[in-house]
Structure 1
Amino acid sequence: MSLSGDMEEYAEVPTVVPAANFDAVADAHALRAAMKGFGTDEQVIIDILCLRSNAQRQAITEAYKKEFGRVEEGSNKKPRDLIADLKSELGGNFENVIIGLMLPTDEYCAKQLYKAMKGIGTSDDVLVEILCSRPYDEIVQIAAAYEKLYGSSLEADIQGDTSGPFQRLLVMALQGLRDNYAYDPAKAEEQAQILYNAGEGTVGTDENAFVEILGHAGQRHAYLIFQEYKKISGKTIEQAMESEMSGELLHGLLAMVKTVHNRPAYFAERLEAAMKGLGTDDDALIRIIVSRCEIDLANIKFEYERMHGKTLLSAVKSEEEAGETSGDYRNALLALIGSA
């Protein structure tokens, strides 16, 4: 991004692209053969499903149903279904990766949001990662998929599960109140001063001011606010928020700020957090790799290596050496990450 407010554009580069010479029927037959009889050939499943685009996987699902889903009239057998067969043959984190891949990305993210909210407690970090880091067009698709799957609106469920400024931040993300193209240097200067006065410049913090300004600011305009804030404070907006706030609201606002600066770097940071320390946050590792592999996982890989001095591929491999990821689960992740 340049200091003039004209942001550098970068091309999103996926690691999983449509396979050449694609044949859905041949893939369906190969998958059926891999699951028939005693034992399962997991490598065949990886080689097919981790190396096809989501649209191609949907075509394979349809072909599988046509080829193997027929039942004789009067039979009490259920039609054979690819996802059901995969679930019956696979298990653990390997199953979570493969079944995640079989869902359209918006449906997959909707299921992750539902999982984050159902039951006792709420996984606020999942709500933040999905809703505070994505462009509005992706959020619209996820919200539509959520309502289709669960019969209730995503906005209503978030309002029932969260509260205060954090709730307002998520609802604003769902309502798409940001204009990503408009920017106004004079207004940015004024808003930076408001933010300073709401935080560092007073006793206590007016969290609502941060939510209202950053929740409305499009990417270009937000970047100008951050520049002006540093001129006033001498600190970055991230440093200021970390000293003034905590908890889920801080994480949500930081996600918005970090994705303005560099969305792939935000996800690279999330991946490192999932793998560092004792144990691996497999849910986060799977969720990010599955949901970003057809969008910008190559960009995320680049930023991960720049930030951490090691490749994402080697980091996942080292998790396997530590016993955190292993076998087919590890091989599926490596296939999605790609060696290039």
Structure 2
Amino acid sequence: MSYPGYPPSGGYPAFPGYPPTGQESVYPPAGQYSYPPVPGGYPPAGGGGTYPAAPPSAGYAGAAGYPAPGGYPGAPQAGGMPPYSGGPGFGVPPAGPGFGGYPQPPAQSYAGGGPAQMPVGYPSGQAPSPMPGQPAAMVQCTQGTIQAAPNFDAGRDAEILRKAMKGFGTDEQAIINVVANRSNDQRQKIKAAFKTMYGKDLIKDLKSELSGNVEELILALFMPSTYYDAWSLRHAMKGVGTQERVLIEILCTRTNQEIREIVNCYKSEFGRDIEQDIRADTSGHFERLLISMCQGNRDENQTVDYQKAQEDAQRLYQAGEGKLGTDESCFNMVLASRSFPQLKATVEAYSRIANRDLLSSIDREFSGNVERGLKAILQCALNRPAFFAERLYYSMKGAGTDDSTLIRIIVTRSEIDLVQIKQMFSQMYQKTLATMIASDTSGDYRRLLLAIVGQ
């Protein structure tokens, strides 16, 4: 597999033996790496639909949108929903970068519980199909801001890019118009067409015309999705120091299929074993958590076993709050192996047992990177778009901008759930993602980011 022109100069590390020689090919196939939906759905605020209100005993201030006990088959019959430690309702942003509670999205109705509504802005008649073995009623509607362009012509786009870079000066707007409105699969076809038509490497031409953050952003958009994740992990562990938050962001949020493909790509492209690199760069319980994540063996059964959730909640309580000291391996076992829907039920059961939510307990029992990793897993189980919205917010909050995080999340979520991330961002921080990007960036970099997020 060949990815000509990578890595770029000026910020992209040089990997031995890269780029590999061989035949240019399109990798990965379009649409192959979507997230499996989690029950609960996220119709954003204003998305319509009828949702039963939380029972008075729920303990979740002002959080309309929970199904009432017994409101769907197999739901807990008593005890209400777990308390929310992050604040009363959607509008309160979490406190600090490692907050103990998440705004819970209104739950889509389950089979027999009323009509399931798609979020605002979801294309009419384009609801996602269930995963194999997944009940149709449990499909979560997610949507990227970038869709495959209709009437796509790779040769025509290659010609537009060639003209934009030919002669003196560069027509950056023409480049933005193409790359921000094509899917990743279509961009791979544009690269191949460019080489066929002009005998030149598109990535090398782009690198010679661009610089800085806009160069990094455009080259990230032209990387195949799996390669970009593998490259980001390699970059996070290469050289002095380790970017642990990058490891958490990728390994703790991807699906089994995505993780296995990332691990294989890491080996084939960089000639390295990712587990060995993790062991060399991390240690202790954080190392064990990441190694568990690398296996890509999380249970993906979408059916919730409430008895197991109760047992797991009791086990976690006894391993943490209910004893002196902490049994870290118990937390690792449950959070690394249970499906995200199952973990969501475990969080609810834990609140009834401990009179405290599980995220807060992890705050009290753990610290450092293992705390951040465990919380990332739970936050994705509860509300994945909110997890990425928080990461985006803190990449721009305060002095300076963490451009690599901003670019990585915008690029990797642009075809998956960036619409929902934008909506959660507005609800959590009372400002739009586009507004914060516009105030924190400038020039062609700002224009391209805003084009990707749909502004």
User: By the TM > 0.5 criterion, same fold?
Assistant: yes
CA contact (8 A) 2:319 2:327 kept: yes
Corresponding position of 1:270: 391
Tell whether 2:449 aligns with 1:338: no
Pairing 1:247-286 to 2, within 5 Å after superposition: 247-286=368-407
Aligned amino acid, residue 233 of structure 2: L
Pairing 1:117-266 to 2, within 5 Å after superposition: 117-181=237-301, 182-266=303-387
Corresponding position of 2:12: none
Tell whether 2:187 aligns with 1:39: no
User: What per-residue deviation string (whole Å, max 9, x for no partner) do you get for residues 167-197 of structure 1?
Assistant: 1111211212321215432222222122112
Corresponding position of 2:213: 93
Higher RCO (CA 8 Å, separation ≥ 6 residues): 1
**Segments of 4+ in structure 1 off by > 6 A?**
none
Distance 1:8 1:243, change over 3 A: farther
Deviation, 1:317, is 1.0
Worse-superposed segment, 89-98 or 214-223? 214-223
Aligned amino acid, residue 143 of structure 2: V
Q: Once superposed, what is the RMSD of the aligned Cα atoms?
A: 1.5
Q: Equivalent pairs: percent with the same residue?
A: 47
Corresponding position of 2:185: 55
Corresponding position of 1:77: none
Deviation, 1:148, is 1.6
Q: Which runs of 5+ in 2 are unaligned?
A: 1-39, 41-66, 70-74, 77-109, 111-136
User: What per-residue deviation string (whole Å, max 9, x for no partner) do you get for residues 100-122 of structure 1?
Assistant: 00011110111110000001111
Secondary structure of the residue aligned to 1:240 is helix
Secondary structure of the residue aligned to 2:241 is coil
Deviation, 1:8, is 5.5
Secondary structure of the residue aligned to 2:140 is coil
Deviation, 1:308, is 1.2
CA contact (8 A) 2:259 2:295 kept: no
TM-score, with normalisation over the residues of structure 2? Answer: 0.69
Query: Which of the pair is proportionally richer in helix?
Result: 1
Pairing 1:108-123 to 2, within 5 Å after superposition: 108-123=228-243
Secondary structure of the residue aligned to 1:96 is helix
Tell whether 2:410 aligns with 1:294: no
Worse-superposed segment, 161-170 or 180-189? 180-189
Deviation, 1:202, is 1.9
Aligned amino acid, residue 103 of structure 1: M
Q: What is the alpha-carbon distance in structure 2 between the residues aligned to residue 57 and residue 220 of structure 1? A: 34
Deviation, 1:213, is 1.4
CA contact (8 A) 1:180 1:221 kept: no
Deviation, 1:153, is 2.3
